[in-house]
Structure 1
Amino acid sequence: MSLNFKKTYKFAVKSALYVTLFATGFAAILAYFFFKQHRSDLIAFCLVFAFSLYIFAFFVIQYRVEVFIYRRVKKIYDDVSFLESSTFRKQSISTDMATLTREVKKFATDKKMEIETLKVREEYRREFLGNVSHELKTPLFTVQGYLSTLLDGAMDDKNIRKKYLQRAEKGVERLIFIVQDLDMITKLESGNLNLNMTEFNIVEVVQNVFDLLEMKAEKKNIILSFDNKYPKAIKVIADREKIQQVVMNLIVNAIKYGKQDGSVEVGIEDLVNNKVIVRVNDNGEGIEKQHIPRLFERFYRVDKSGARAEGGSGLGLSIVKHIIEAHDENIYIESQFGIGSEFSFTLEKSE
């Protein structure tokens, strides 16, 4: 890779000046004592001597510096730029020692940060693969167990056959649900999932989700409601289907972790810059602070045993985050352990 290599002559200029001043002063003192009869020519001699010595010293020092220092400095830049070409292609390369020290120090710091980031990602990758394996293994083994039992002879009993086939079907449905959610996250992350931006009433979308989840909430005697009456439509611009999925996932999550005889409340407020914020509040068990930064990770569960008993793919909040970010909007979490949680997200309001 060719580098824009900028030489500096400061070192040679200063070094030659120091040598010249010393040598000229020393020569003048010697000439004063040894050639007293020609003192009138001493000044001219010193000037000519100083000029000649300065020129000679400058070129010798500069040549030596280029041979023994600049070439090695250039090799260091070549080696560093090979690893960090995107940064070094954009700037001229100087042989100044301070610049070199600063650049190499910055390079070392950046690489250290990259290594730490890679370690974190590697740990996340291992955990993610373990979670994927577990989430897929559970329904797969369930289906395999029921089918193996049927093939071993239980198929002859009509009642057992129907019950086991129904349970195997539920396992297959969960597998499909997990694969569909993973496929959606992959498309969202790669930008291949196109959003159908339309104008719609967000209040109507929330009410539709309430109607769909009414029976699920009744199992725990949880009340789904708005925080206020919204007689007028609140129009937003977004992908209606995806936003309904966001609201659905958040309310399902609130029901899943909500307490018996609890409540889930949705509020919609105007913000500045033509935005609205949708808040989903519950009075459930809440979330401990150490879990909040990781809530949107795929397959991350606060209460692993309880969450799996409730079902789901473990991808709901991750999908929520990706959908909201695909809209260039923000999502927030506020929670107090033992009191409840609030998930909120912003949307662009229709003018």
Structure 2
Amino acid sequence: MFISTHNMKPSALFSTLSLCLFLFLFLSLPPPSLAARCNPNDKEALLQIKKSLNNPTHLAAWKPNTNCCNWNGIICNPATNRVATLQLDSGNLSGQIPPAVGNLPFLENLFVLNLSNLTGHIPSTVAKLSHLTFLAISHTSISGRIPSFLSQLKNLTYINLSYNQLTGSIPASLSQLTQLTAIDLGGNKLTGKIPSSFGEFTGAVPDLYLSQNKLSGTIPKSMGYLNYSAIYLANNMLEGEVTPLFGKNKTLRFVHLGSNKFRFDMSKVELPVTLFLLDLSHNGITGSLPASFASPNLMNLNVSYNRLCGQIPAGGNLQVFEPSAYLPNRCLCGAPLPACK
């Protein structure tokens, strides 16, 4: 019953969300005879984007004498005739993200996905997209810092910049985005600390995906004041305590903190009953497993490669998980491990 979460890639969640959103919007389009006519200014911007990408064959159908609302990767809002979605996610596209994307003033969804030959930085013209709600630039070779101007895009609900070559620190100003429901910055080369402002979101508390970076320092105590649902921080260089994240009154569901340098006493942790997944593997955690681990809702657990001791509590799914969920540790015992002496 144990499902290892050590190699989970949370960006897959955003890829699925991106695809689902795209399909929903696509299937919601009116028949071709009723399709919106492309705004001339939007068409000019799209043709400039095509030119900047060296006129790839994948965009051969983007022709000046055709309706750009019918072009592949484009969805227009039929009420306004303006381009609402731009999706570049296939073909052998190379070069940089064209600055002309900023000339689509009514763009709501920008998807740039799975383009390993795409390099350069996130263009500053993205700051002009005041209607943008969904930004997904993932699995490319773009580099540079995460631009602080993203905090100007007050309508953003999703940010997915996962699996690129981004460096530098995480902008503290992202906490100013009150509509955010998820931030995925995993799989980059980010350094520095998690901003303390991530305990100061004034709107929705976003799901947080920061795994597979080079983040260091401790988890801000301020994050313990908020009620996160998902926190993925695996494969970094984080240290110290994590106990403020937990508590019986929290609504945490997914926590992956594996492969860090956390040191704390597990016996002081009280898990919320809502918790579904918990991975604390490959740290330096001491103490024993408290009784709250026996929650029937906990379906995925991995506390392997720590310094835990004592008897595994009875109840919930703790006796059903594979022994590999608990090994090696200093002296854990009891089912599914050998009986305590």
Which TM class, normalised by the smaller chain length?
Answer: under 0.3
Q: Which has the larger radius of gyration?
A: 1
Q: Please identify which structure carries the higher strand content.
A: 2
Greater relative CO (CA pairs within 8 A, separation 6+): 1
Q: Please identify which structure carries the higher helix content.
A: 1
Q: Normalized against structure 1, the TM-score is what?
A: 0.26
